[in-house]
Structure formats: C-alpha cells, structure tokens
Amino acid sequence: MTHPSEETDDRLAAPTSPPPAHFAEQALLGALVLEPALAAEVDLDAEHFDNHTHGVLFAAIRTVPPPDPEQHEKDAAWVAAVHAEARPQAPGLPHTYLHTLVQVCPRRDHAAAYAWMIRADHARRTVRVHADRLAQTAADTTLPHRIEATVAQADRLGDLLDQLAGRFAPHPGSLPRTPVPPDAVAEAGEEAVDDEQLLLATATQAPQTVQTMRWLTPGDFTVPLYGSLWRCVTGLVLRGGAVDPVTVLWEAQQAGLLTGATTARSLLDLLSDPHGEPDHWGTRIVARALLHRARTVADRILAFADDPATTPYQLITGSRRGLADFSSVQARWHRTTSSAPAPPAAQGRGTPPAIRAGPVPATARQPRAGLAR
C-alpha cells in the first residue's frame, strides 16, 4: 500500500507523449539537484515552467541554501530540505521524484541549454495567451469600450514581443514557415451594411467631406460591392469631377459593378437617400474594420504559436508583422478621432480616444432597401 505522503502529484503526470519541454524541465531540475550551485547561474523564474510542480521545485532549489559540494555527495540532507520546502505548494510530491530527476538528466553541464528550451517554450505559451486575449477582446460585444480595450491588449502583446526580442537571437530564415489561415470574411451584419449604405449616400451628397476622409479604404467595408462604390466616389472627388448619384452611377458602370443583382435603379435609390454626415459613418466603418483586423491578426499569431516547428525568433518576427498590419488600421482609426480630446484613462501608449458620435436621425436606422450584396 502506498503511503499517503508518497502519492504521486497529479500535476507531475505527463501526457502520453509529452512535448520536449517537459523533458527539458526534468533534465534541468536533475542537473540542479546534482549540482545546486548551478541554480544561481540559470536565468529562469518558477513561472517559466509549464509544469506547476516543476516550478515549485525550482523555487525551492533557489530558496534552500546550496550545500557544501563534498557533503552533498555523501548524504541527501539538502535534497530532503528542498522536498520539505516544496511540499506546501505541491502536497502530492513524493520524495523519490527528486531522485528520478537525477536519473533522467543526461548531462548536468548542459543545464544552460535546458534552461533555454524552457524559456523558449514559455515564450511560445505567453505569446499564445496574449494573442488569444486579443481575439477574445475584439470579439466581446459586451465590453463598454471595446475599441480601447482591443488597442490596449494589442499594445500589451507588442510590449511582450519587444521584451522577448532581446532574449532570442536572430537567425537565417527568421520568417515563420507556418501556413497562415486565410483572413476571415468580415461579417456583413445589418448594422454594418446600413452604415456603409449611409456613407455612400452622404458622401455623394457632400463630396467636399470625402477629401478629408483618406483614412477610409475600400478594404474596410464588409460588403465588397460597397467598397468598390466608395472607390468610385473617391475617384471622382480626386479627379475634381462632378459628384452626384448619376455621375457615381456612371463610374459604377465603367467599373463593371452593374449586374443583374445590382441595377442602375437600385444604385440611384441608395445614393439618393442620405442621413447624417459622411465622417460619422466612416468612423464607424473603420472602427469595425479595426476589430476585424485584430481578430485576423490574432488568428495568424495563434497559428505561429501552435506550430512546434516555429522557433522563438520566427514567432516574434511573424507576430510583429501581424501587429504591424493591425497598427496600420489603428493609425487610420486614430486619425478619425484625433480631433476629440482623449479621456484621462485613454492617454496611455497607443490608446486613441473614444469614437466621435455624430447625428443619427431616427430614420437612419430604419431598414433600407439597399443593393444586393
């Protein structure tokens, strides 16, 4: 019968096929048990260990003063002290486990290599956690300030990548080889479609405003057709041409946008029903595009982090490139809100002020007979 004090800690039970980092943690701890003085040379903290009990053991090894090397070879007093130090945080830890660690350590002089593997695995897990939080924040419709929270989370991820970049040296082939998932199609919900239709109508009515709206791009639209129509409107404005529903209709025909589903009559009806101001609807469209880009970038980073063949530096490089894509949208969104003073809580790094509210007549939110999508 097994004595209760020697029951194996469930947190020590490795998966059927444990990852290399599990063996690296065991090997490092075994090296430290064999030569406790090495603990002072290892650049790690307990939180870097994936296995909780391994982290507890590492902290205990750091806490218990190292023994005299000659005395350590003769008795197990120091090992017993480490076990006693760790037991409160790992009640199921058997005293025999420290001897097991010694047996599975290939070479104590490779402790630095084992520590590097542990830090690399911790970096991968940490980046993954931050990317997952970015995706969840961008998708959480219950957040009162979802834009600001998303930008703040992206900043935290960027800060983490900056910190990690100094710990992992660059190498040839620094870009991830992981196939990135295709960009998710932005959801063209009723509100998004209505905003885009209202923008096209108000921009056609007030083309002078379009000249200051270069922060809005066709790719920000959830309906590709409406993005193409926006290109028609901006093209006319930039060329100094006359802008009204009929001239935009002609541009749409020249761009090949008129089909059986998109008729001249439906387009004229859409462009002739403006409500509000163009920059208000444009701001809403860019804000929606920013949230979508955050989810897309997070998915890309998660794919890198989930690929065990991705090196730490490849993960950092690929993640930084993804965040650069997000930052480009963030910069354009910030231009739409820069005229409004930022609230005190939003004055931090990279956090833009809240979205400006524009006049929204009651009729503007009524269902509209728009173009076929």
Two tokens at 13?
A: 């039970």
DSSP 8-class letter at 91 = T
- Alpha helix locations (H) across 140-223? 146-165, 190-205, 207-210
- Residue 152 in contact with residue 351, Cβ under 8 Å? yes
Query: Residue 11: its pLDDT value, please?
Result: 55
Return d(Cα 342, Cα 344) in angstroms, integer: 6
Residue (of 203, 218, 216) closest to 257 by Cα position: 218
- Report the range of poorest mean pLDDT among 11-25, 153-167, 180-194, 247-261: 11-25
- Residue 66 in contact with residue 36, Cβ under 8 Å? yes
Two tokens at 177?
A: 């080889």
Q: Say how many CA atoms lie within 13 Å of 26 toward its Cβ.
A: 18
Query: Residue 184: its pLDDT value, please?
Result: 77
Return d(Cα 194, Cα 335) in angstroms, integer: 23
> For the segment 107-136, what is each residue's pLDDT rounded down to a tens digit?
999 999 999 999 999 999 999 999 999 999
Two tokens at 339?
A: 């005229």
Two tokens at 362?
A: 């009651």
Confidence of residue 15 (pLDDT cuts 50, 70, 90): low
Average pLDDT over residues 151-170: 95
Mean pLDDT for all residues in the chain: 87
| Structural domain spans, the chain | 4-106, 120-373
> For the segment 209-257, what is each residue's pLDDT rounded down to a tens digit?
999 999 999 999 999 999 999 999 999 999 999 999 999 999 999 999 9
**Residue 30 or residue 353, greater confidence:** 30
Two tokens at 26?
A: 């065991």
Query: Residue 297: its pLDDT value, please?
Result: 96
Query: Residue 349: its pLDDT value, please?
Result: 33
Confidence (pTM): 0.82
Query: Residue 14: its pLDDT value, please?
Result: 54
CATH homologous superfamily of domain 120-373? Answer: DNAb Helicase; Chain A (1.10.860.10)
Query: Residue 92: its pLDDT value, please?
Result: 87
Two tokens at 327?
A: 């930052």
Average pLDDT over residues 184-191: 86
Tell whether the model's pLDDT for residue 65 goes beyond 60: yes
Query: Residue 259: its pLDDT value, please?
Result: 85
> For the segment 72-105, what is each residue's pLDDT rounded down to a tens digit?
988 889 999 999 999 999 988 998 999 999 999 9
> For the segment 292-327, what is each residue's pLDDT rounded down to a tens digit?
999 999 999 999 999 999 999 999 999 999 999 999
Q: Percent of the chain at pLDDT above 90?
A: 74
**Residue position matching structure tokens 């020249």:** 254
**DSSP per-residue string spanning 51-77:** SHHHHHHHHHHHHSPPPPHHHHHH--H
> For the segment 343-371, what is each residue's pLDDT rounded down to a tens digit?
333 333 333 333 333 444 434 444 454 45
Average pLDDT over residues 23-35: 97
